[in-house]
A and B are shown apart, each in its own frame.
Chain A
Amino acid sequence: MAVISRTLFLTLLLALVAFLSASSSTSSFIAHAQPQNDNDALLQKKVSRLEAKASKNKGVIQLDSLAFEDVMAKPRNYSMVVLFTAISPEFNCVPCLNFDPEYKMVAAGWSKLANKSQLFFSILDFKAGQAIFQKFGMNSAPSVLYFPASSSISGNPSQDRYDFGKSGFQAESFAAWLHARSGVKIKVQRPFDFMGLAVKVLGTFTAVFAVIVFARKGHKIFASKYFWSTISMIIIFVMISGHMWNQIRNPPYSMPTQQGRSGFIANGFQNQFGLETQIIAVLYSLLTGASIGLIAVVPRIESPVGQRAAVWVCMGMFTFVFSILIQVFKMKNPGYPFTLMFR
């Protein structure tokens, strides 16, 4: 269930992002190179253009290489926050996708404030601005840089960088980081979560319904050991397949397959993907199921032929899945010397 909802969510997100980028990246703006002595007028024009741009897109300005140079060019009385990201699906940048809505949330919070001309939020996608990525020596995304009003981009790229590792991907901590720099406090308003509401409403209905049913049937389900044994077994399987690690470390769900290395088993002993733990959970439950079958099902079969078949099937599955498990473990720990069926 969780898997399905997760993939669904990802797909929705991808579609949304694709739609947004398609609608906004077509219209980039290039400065009209008119020599003007009046800096202020130029600046005024630029700012108003940026404001228009920002207000059109909920406070976020989509940039490409040219636009970036233009926005950063010197007369400048505003600060810039630039998110270097890669949200196209071919880059498969999960953190980029995760951070994107958070960033936009902060930008939207900003656009609701009174004096917006101090600071602009912008996004530079790798597709549109490879040159800038190279210029700043970016080899990972997402990154957020803060350019104070006074800074110039020509010299060294030692800009103020938001540390995802330390502060995390939450909009609130990002807003706090901005607050320390710009001095303006941005209130993050999480958008109303219709999905969450639907789940809650549905959940409440289910709960009420369940209570009514239970009241009628006289706590039959809570007294049933099947109910409790299912819950306990699920908890145990989830835990022993390393789910808590995922919960705490937030690894990617899987990686694209490259050069014969499968993308769903992570490299290294102390590292794992989301999909990997699900595979392991399935392997474990097959093994446990086979042994329970041998214990509980086989002795109930009356015909000798059927019983023999059941024993061979269970034991065959047991051995086969155990060999696969060992093989997967060998991928994680190449020095492991033992094998069962496969070499």
Chain B
Amino acid sequence: MSTESSSTVARVLKPTILILIAIVAISSRLFSIIRFESVIHEFDPWFNYRTTQHLVKNGFYDFWNWFDEKSWYPLGRVVGGTVYPGIMVTSALIHNVLHFFNFPVDIRNVCVFLAPMFSGLTAFSAYLLTKELKDSSAGLLAAAFLGVAPGYISRSVAGSYDNEGIAIFLLVFTFYLWIKAVKTGSAFFGLLTALFYFYMVSAWGGYVFITNLVPLHAFTLLLMGRFSNRLYVSYSTFYAIGTLLSMQIPFVGFQPTRTSEHMAALGVFGLIQLYAFAELVRGYIPPKQFKTLLKGGVAAVAVISAVGLTLLSFSGVIAPFTGRFYSLYDTGYAKIHIPIIASVSEHQPTAWTSFFFDLQMLIFLFPAGVYLCFKELKDEHVFIILYSVFASYFAGVMVRLMLTLTPVVCVSAAIAYSTLLDTYLETSEHVLASTNSAIVATPAPAVIDTPTVAIPEAKAAGKKAAAKAAAAAAAAAKSNEADAKTHAKSISAASGEKKRFPIFNLDSRLLVILQLTWFLFMFAWHCTYVTSGSYSSPSIVLASRQHDGSQMIIDDFREAYYWLRKNTKEDAKVMSWWDYGYQMAGMANVTTLVDNNTWNNTHIATVGKAMSTSEEVSYKVLRQHDVDYVLILFGGVIGYSGDDINKFLWMIRIAEGVYPNDVKETNFFTPRGEYKVDHDATKTMRESLMYKMSYYRFAELYGGGNAVDHVRNARMPAEGPTLSVLEEAYTTENWLVRIYKVKDLDNLGRDLKDSTAFDKGRVRKVSSLKKK
């Protein structure tokens, strides 16, 4: 087969493979749709969905200025200024374009399918990125890996309508554009990088990763003595335009000039200007004077910037790191100072099992890819190395940052994997030709490789040459003369050491290729298994297996929210723990006190206080906040472990942080330091509103005896708690959600406890009279 025809075949095959990868990526994210229905998942997506609905209905300007009085009652929330609007605008745009062409697609379906659609694009950008690093076959592998890797699927299944769904595409694509910009030195690609950076800023708070990684790359290249006009053009374009654009997002505002997270980018921008200026001056001044000038200049700049930075940070112009970011450096910080951050499960550190679960064999091919990057070590490989090291650190600290690690793992593993395939598939002429060209094409870096060939003479000679060359390179890298010398030396050294041979035996080739193919199969099975089993449950509809193996759908959440929507007055205020705020606003359309946007710790603590104190104390709080209903989750009947009693400790802890006099964590523990709900429960525990609401009439369900809480495996007292300031309004089929109505003040001005007791007494009296 001639090379021409094979390249034609490749030209047809590549797009076909890419399209197939996109189809696989999309369809493996549809498990939840097939099993349940097209429904928005979890918590945050419900807020995004609600705002998208608002955007589609009322237009962009109304959305931008939207003050949402239905959340954080009575404070409200300025939605336009406190969201990353990227995902909403994207789906509204798709919706409007489709409607323009008369495709009457419901906005909900646009939202549900947005993340899978973007995963196809992510796979494509992984292809582009890897192509820049190695070649297109590695690119195809990277696309396939990223398309199905569970680490990315976890946040992008159909219905998971969250920022990360589009942000990972933007992350990978921005990095691709940046590498392209550095490689070509074109302002055009720098501009494109800035534009996509802007899109990323508008979509996800994780943009800070780009803001720090790209300058770090530029800085590292400077340190390596690889400053070039290409780098200068691309970085200056990216930083100037990107920063100006990012400041257009109201939620970001002036942060790029004022917070520590963004200072690195600014610093590198300044440094690169100075460096370029020094390079310029060098051309006009004799070397000796330049040296003096350089020394003075460096000292002056260092002093000025040190003093300036200290002054600015002490005067408060530059804000210190925000807690969320700071907890990435000082890992113990959040637990002590910000319990609300520590309480979120996705902010927990990552056990090794999660790495393997999310990436399977990629996780150990990943370091091999990094090793290969070190072997090549062009500018773009430096980027991948930096990305790998920092992303693996961040992923270790926080489970959710697995998401930023996954792309680089896929890219790097694809490089390793495709190099393996290259080595064991290619015919001998190819290997020899490519190695020869590699030797000629790699100048200085090849010097540093120590030889592994066991020919003593060549080794000694090579080492000597290498040492000489390295010394020469270090001494005067800029001088042309020395450069040429180094080059010559390196080639001589390299050709002496690096002799590569083809794989001689067919059985070795077959062994490796077959095994690797088998591992690919295993990887695909693993990904499907993980996606289907762990990452495809919408968490608002639960599925369980009954004894006979048939599936039982538990739809209590929607049942309860629908009840609220249909049976409460329009401006009813419903109190619940913040986890359910977004869902209630989205599905029940009621006013909530707190929600998943945890911007006001005091307000959350107030809700925590109302939940964890006795009825009398709590009633005051409830009345002060005009609460009509209280909603809680209770899993004791069906064994749903994510219920409010299990979250109760966090409520207590957060409440104690603000109201240390009213709530004390120790009072909820038995003397033996246990967290109990049964007979051993402490008095404070038994009197807390949460406990009472959870177990109210629970024992009746079991006919008076042997009431067992299936989550905590606790045998409950036969005599359940009584309620006087609340009355039960609704309890769902499986008791998963319980809604209580807050009683109005008593007509006769009595204490509610007394009036309840009185009512009960009268009922008893009447019944006893009837008996007589």
Which of A's residues lie within 8 Å of B, judged by CB? 137-140, 143, 156-159, 161, 163, 166, 218-220, 223-226, 228-229, 232-233, 235-237, 239-245, 247-249, 269-272, 276-277, 280, 283-285, 287-288, 291-292, 294-302, 304, 307-308, 311-312, 315, 318-319, 322, 325, 329, 332-333, 337-338, 340
Contacts and interface: CB of A to CB of B under 8 A. Distances in A.
Interface stretch (B300-308, B495-503, B593-601): B495-503
B648 to A, nearest CB: 15
A322 B666 contact: no
B350 A288 contact: no
Interface string B698-709: 000000000000
Of the listed residues A140, A245, A283, A340, the one surrounded by the most CB atoms of chain B closer than 10 A to its CB is: A245
Interface string B519-545: 100100110010000000000000000
9 contacts: A143-B673, A226-B448, A247-B349, A248-B331, A280-B352, A291-B416, A295-B368, A311-B511, A319-B515
Contact of A288 (B365, B526, B671): B365
Of the listed residues B352, B366, B519, the one surrounded by the most CB atoms of chain A closer than 10 A to its CB is: B352
Contacts of B638: none
Contacts of A139: 672
A271 B349 CA distance: 11
B747 interface: no
B696 interface: no
Nearest to B672: A137
Interface string B360-371: 010111111011
B501 A301 contact: yes
Nearest to B445: A225
B458 interface: no
B665 A299 contact: no
B470 A223 contact: yes
B397 interface: yes
Contact of B529 (A300, A304, A338): A338
Contact of A315 (B349, B352, B515): B515
B351 A271 contact: yes
B401 to A, nearest CB: 11
B52 to A, nearest CB: 34
B388 interface: yes
B389 A269 contact: no
B393 A239 contact: yes
A284 B370 CA distance: 14
Given A295-B420, A304-B505, A270 B351 contact: yes
B341 interface: no
Of the listed residues B350, B389, B396, B453, the one surrounded by the most CB atoms of chain A closer than 10 A to its CB is: B396
Contact of A299 (B392, B423, B507): B423
Contacts of B470: 220, 223
Contacts of A312: 508, 511
Contact of B367 (A236, A244, A280): A236
B267 interface: no
Interface of B: 331-332, 349-357, 361, 363-368, 370-372, 374-375, 377, 385, 388-389, 392-393, 395-397, 416, 419-420, 423-424, 431, 445, 448, 450, 452-453, 470-471, 473-475, 498-505, 507-508, 511-512, 515, 519, 522, 525-526, 529, 665-666, 669, 671-673
B393 A235 contact: yes
Given A218-B474, A299-B431, A245 B420 contact: no
A56 to B, nearest CB: 32
A288 B393 CA distance: 19
Contact of B671 (A161, A249, A332): A161
Contacts of A319: 515
A331 B632 CA distance: 36
Contacts of A287: 364
B352 A272 contact: yes
Given A225-B445, A242-B396, A269-B351, A233 B367 contact: yes
Contact of B423 (A143, A271, A288, A298): A298
B162 to A, nearest CB: 22
Given A226-B448, A307-B503, A315-B512, A244 B519 contact: no
The 3 closest A-B pairs by CB, nearest first: A242-B352, A244-B396, A311-B508
Contacts of B377: 225
Nearest to B529: A337
B681 to A, nearest CB: 14
Contact of A244 (B363, B397, B423, B452): B397
Given A225-B377, A240-B363, 9 more contacts: A220-B474, A223-B474, A233-B367, A239-B396, A240-B367, A242-B355, A249-B349, A277-B352, A297-B452
B525 A338 contact: yes
Contacts of B393: 235, 239, 244
B383 to A, nearest CB: 13
A148 to B, nearest CB: 15
Contacts of A298: 423, 503, 508
Contacts of B525: 338
A138 B448 CA distance: 63
A20 to B, nearest CB: 27
Contacts of A332: 353
Contact of A245 (B370, B392, B396, B504): B396
A318 B395 contact: no
A329 B354 CA distance: 10
Contacts of A338: 522, 525-526, 529
Given A291-B365, A294-B423, A233 B371 contact: yes
B671 A157 contact: yes
B528 to A, nearest CB: 11
Contacts of A291: 364-365, 368, 416, 420
Contact of B351 (A159, A236, A242): A242
A300 B364 CA distance: 23
Given A245-B352, A338-B529, A302 B374 contact: no
A318 B515 contact: yes
A240 B396 contact: yes
Given A218-B475, A239-B395, A245-B350, A308 B504 contact: yes
A236 B366 contact: yes
A49 B372 CA distance: 72
Contacts of B512: 294, 311, 315
Contacts of B363: 240, 284
A149 to B, nearest CB: 20
B368 A308 contact: no
Contact of A240 (B392, B498, B499, B508): B392
A37 to B, nearest CB: 36
A245 B349 contact: yes
A127 B745 CA distance: 60
B515 A245 contact: no
A243 B368 CA distance: 20
A172 to B, nearest CB: 12
Given A284-B363, A311-B512, A322-B361, A248 B353 contact: no
Contacts of A248: 331-332, 349, 397
Contacts of A308: 504-505, 507-508
Given A163-B673, A298-B503, A329 B420 contact: no
Contact of A236 (B331, B370, B505): B370
A243 B512 CA distance: 32
Contacts of B526: 338
A181 to B, nearest CB: 12
A276 B352 CA distance: 9
Of the listed residues A138, A232, A298, A312, the one surrounded by the most CB atoms of chain B closer than 10 A to its CB is: A232
Given A158-B671, A163-B666, A295 B419 contact: yes
B396 to A, nearest CB: 3
A140 B669 CA distance: 15
B366 A229 contact: no
A296 B449 CA distance: 12
Contacts of A247: 331, 349
Given A156-B671, A280-B352, A233 B416 contact: no
A224 B449 CA distance: 9
